[in-house]
Amino acid sequence: MLPGILLLRSGLAAVLGASVLLYGSSTVQAAGLPELTIYTENDPPYVTVDEQGRIGGLTKPRLQRFLQSIGYSTRDIKVQPWVRAYKEAMSQPNVLIYPIAKTPEREARLTYLYRLYDASVYFYRLSERTDIRVNNLASAKKYRVCAVRGDYRAEYLQSQRFERIDLAPDSTANLKKLLAGRCDLAILTEIGIHSKLAQLNEQPERVSIAYPLLELDSNLYIAINSSSKPETIKLLKKRAAALD
């Protein structure tokens, strides 16, 4: 076969350097990689999904660079509720998930491949709740804290023995609980909370930072289940390392 002839998934085929063009999935899959499943959730501003199903958000620029390096595109990503996507990523080989932060529990099952976005996390309170005072992590434990079920921030609170955690299905519901006075504190990133306030037509002045969680690594990554074949993980990490 002559070099450069394309191999279509439908039967026409080709070899192009080290890649195979898969028109069925609109990707150019890197040689040596098995079929990968990539999950995300609709979580503005980090991940957005428009009416046509196109994926955007703050993580997209670096995500696209990584996907292109392994022969995939955002059209190959499956948008699922976080709990479902997280369960798959934590239990199945060849499953990638983003955006995800690091925790010891996750690092036991996931291999982090590429940093997508830098973020910082804070405890927030309603600005009118001047009675709430948080001077350190221990002093926050006496308050009811809203967090997202399955989220790294909820996992962090649980690891720190917080007992009054009110879990929500997503970050928007999490913020709604804070605004409604159903909890004293909410744990969110600065850009995340202001994006969601705008989404809810609420003024940013409604909330104030109660305490910065500087001890928590809140950068966002794309990761793969560590039970994937070592050669798969090695190749993905090699492609990611070449990007920076």
Q: Looking at this protein, which amino acid is placed at residue 177?
A: K
Cα 31 from Cα 1, distance rounded (Å): 17
Residue given tokens 């390392």 in the structure block: 241
Q: Looking at this protein, which amino acid is placed at residue 150?
A: G
Q: How confident is the model at residue 104 (pLDDT cuts 50, 70, 90)?
A: confident
* CB proximity list for 228: less than 8 A, separation 6 or greater: 34, 93, 94, 95, 111
How high is the pLDDT of residue 31?
A: 62
Cα 235 from Cα 30, distance rounded (Å): 9
Q: Which range (68-77, 108-117, 149-158, 224-233) has the least confidence? A: 149-158
| Averaged pLDDT for residues 68-95 | 96
Q: Which range (27-36, 70-79, 148-157) has the least confidence? A: 27-36
Residue given tokens 């955006």 in the structure block: 99
How high is the pLDDT of residue 244?
A: 77
Average pLDDT, the chain: 88
Q: How confident is the model at residue 87 (pLDDT cuts 50, 70, 90)?
A: very high
DSSP structure class, residue 133 = -
- Ordered alpha helix ranges (H), 51-189: 60-70, 82-91, 104-107, 137-140, 152-159, 171-179
Instruction: Tally Cβ neighbours within 10 Å of residue 23.
Output: 13
Query: 39-78 pLDDT, tens per residue?
Result: 999 988 899 999 999 999 999 999 999 999 999 999 999 9
Q: Which range (7-11, 33-37, 218-222) has the least confidence? A: 7-11
Q: How confident is the model at residue 128 (pLDDT cuts 50, 70, 90)?
A: very high
Q: Is the Cβ–Cβ distance between 121 and 216 less than 8 Å?
A: yes
- Ordered alpha helix ranges (H), 78-130: 82-91, 104-107
Instruction: Tally Cβ neighbours within 10 Å of residue 189.
Output: 23
207-212 and 121-126 as β-strands: parallel, antiparallel, unpaired?
Answer: antiparallel
What are the Cα distances from residue 117, in Å, to 14, 62, 145, 203, 207?
36, 8, 25, 25, 24
